[in-house]
């Protein structure tokens, strides 16, 4: 679901208003049962998902039916029989994801090596006819279904699960396409007891989250997008500027989506996990990953890292590195994402073995720790944003070349923008840094939430007004829709 498209809101209103009118009349005429609310939510979510992508919906419908039937059977078995069923379900789910997401990658590389040779250009530009693009949401709802299978296998509660409740758990429309990746213990009970209850408090809080998300996405993320130059390789200043802008953009883009999802769900009385906790306030890489894309990190921790490590805690560092490399590969079927995951795995290992020594002996001030962490994250964004491996190598060479930082390149960088562009970019960066400052201030004041200051009623209204005035003329697609 694209919350920035008018068609989404139009269809939502056209669907939910008649539903609520029928519900109201049904309550008055005493034929509407409370369980009908869950059916109404199911139909609403499936309709919105089908409208977003009919192709993905077909795969989604198959996986829902298959997973529910297998979990239903698994809950009636014990011991090794239940474990075999769980393994079969997980393998099939992952195989479907791998076919749509990674087949093209493997074919491109194998054919590319055959055609170009080992020393050829791994630019990812070879197209394989007949291989489909990844359907929207597939990565997210597959991970959620896999987690549900594992949690159900581990759970002591072997009571049957309702089919409608399971559909609502997986397909709840605010989060089905790009998360957050919810767990059975938190969201499923809410879906099993779901009722349409639009309270003033929920609506007010939901609108604040929605206003914050819209501002982050439409004003900050989308306005920064047009100044990111993916092709520039020779001017180090422009390369760094693009990396910095992309670092801001990916946060405002994805956090914006997550906050909109939280706001819409909150207005309906449903609590979703806050997927970001001001990650750019982190004082270490370890803290950064406790604040960034939290539900995905928890998924890899619980279903990849811990099972891999088992009781071999002496190998924890190795398995941590493997987990982050796999996490990078999840983000995209390209070598740059593998490098990005390995890079962050390496940083965590570096912190593990040297961080305590440096922190205790050198007593680095918080500002220095923050600056080093932010620069490390920003540099890593180069691996994330540049999907062409050959061009990535050239950019790395440019950044390491002192001659690329000449004064003439400074002048060339400035002259590449018009006066209006410089003004617009400067204004957007001011707004972006005000948001980041308010996040830092909330963390420094140890407020209940990192976003307390941004969710104040009057601030939310200001953000909504700024969104109306300065939203990008051409909104870009959410970055994580590609993953």
331 catalytic residue (yes or no)? yes
Q: C-alpha distances in angstroms, 453 versus 83, 214, 250, 381, 445?
A: 47, 16, 22, 27, 10
Locate tokens 């400067």: which residue? 426
Q: How many CA atoms lie within 13 A of 192 on its CB side?
A: 10
How many residues does this entry show for the chain? Answer: 483
CA pair distance 475, 5, nearest whole angstrom: 9
Residue of 175, 293, 331, 344 marked active site? 331
Structure tokens at 157: 């509660």
- The string of DSSP codes covering 405-462 is G-HHHHHHHHHTS-HHHHHHHHHHHHHHHHHHHHHHHHHHTT-SSTTTTTTSHHHHHH
Sign of CA dihedral 216, 222, 223, 225: positive
H or E segment to which residue 142 belongs: helix 138-154
For 351-373, b where at least 16 C-beta lie within 10 A, e where not — what string? beeebeeeeeeeeeeeeebbeeb
Catalytic machinery residues = 331
């Amino acid at each position: 679901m694209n919350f920035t498209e008018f068609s989404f809101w139009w269809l939502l209103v056209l669907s939910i208003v008649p539903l609520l009118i029928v519900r109201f009349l049904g309550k008055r005429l005493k034929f509407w049962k409370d369980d009908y609310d869950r059916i109404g939510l199911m139909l609403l979510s499936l309709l919105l998902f089908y409208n977003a992508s009919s192709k993905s919906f077909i795969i989604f419908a198959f996986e829902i039916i298959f997973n529910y039937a297998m979990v239903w059977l698994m809950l009636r078995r014990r011991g090794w029989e239940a474990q075999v069923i769980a393994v079969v379900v997980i393998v099939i789910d992952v195989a479907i994801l791998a076919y749509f997401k990674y087949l093209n990658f493997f074919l491109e590389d194998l054919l590319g090596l055959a055609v170009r040779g080992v020393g050829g250009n791994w630019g990812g530009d070879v197209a394989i006819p007949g291989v489909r693009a990844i359907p929207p949401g597939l990565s997210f709802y597959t991970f959620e279904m896999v987690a549900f299978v594992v949690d159900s296998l581990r759970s002591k509660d072997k009571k049957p699960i309702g089919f409608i409740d399971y559909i609502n758990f997986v397909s709840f429309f605010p989060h089905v396409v790009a998360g957050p990746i919810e767990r059975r213990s938190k969201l499923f009970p809410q879906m099993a007891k779901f009722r349409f209850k639009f309270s003033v408090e929920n609506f007010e809080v939901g609108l604040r989250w929605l206003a914050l998300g819209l501002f982050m996405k439409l004003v900050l993320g989308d306005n920064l997008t047009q100044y990111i130059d993916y092709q520039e390789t020779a001017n180090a200043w422009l390369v760094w500027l693009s990396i910095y802008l992309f670092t801001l953009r990916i946060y405002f883009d994805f956090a914006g989506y997550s906050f909109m999802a939280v706001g819409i769900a909150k207005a309906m009385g449903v609590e979703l996990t806050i997927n970001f906790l001001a990650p750019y306030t982190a004082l270490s890489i370890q803290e950064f990953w406790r604040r960034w894309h939290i539900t995905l990190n928890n998924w890899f921790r619980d279903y990849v890292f811990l099972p891999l490590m088992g009781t071999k805690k002496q190998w924890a560092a190795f398995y941590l590195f493997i987990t982050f490399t796999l996490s990078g590969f999840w983000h995209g079927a390209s070598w740059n994402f593998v490098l990005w995951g390995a890079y962050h795995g390496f940083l965590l290992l570096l912190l593990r073995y040297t961080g305590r020594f440096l922190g205790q002996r050198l007593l680095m001030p918080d500002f220095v720790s923050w600056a080093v962490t932010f620069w490390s994250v920003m540099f890593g964004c180069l691996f994330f944003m540049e999907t062409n491996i050959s061009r990535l190598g050239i950019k790395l060479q440019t950044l390491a070349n002192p001659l690329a930082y000449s004064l003439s390149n400074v002048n060339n960088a400035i002259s590449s923008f018009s006066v209006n562009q410089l003004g617009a970019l400067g204004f957007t960066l001011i707004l972006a840094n005000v948001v980041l400052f308010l996040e830092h201030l909330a963390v420094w004041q140890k407020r209940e939430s990192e976003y307390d200051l941004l969710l104040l009623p009057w601030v939310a209204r200001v953000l909504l007004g700024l969104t109306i005035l300065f939203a990008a003329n051409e909104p870009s697609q959410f970055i994580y829709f590609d993953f």
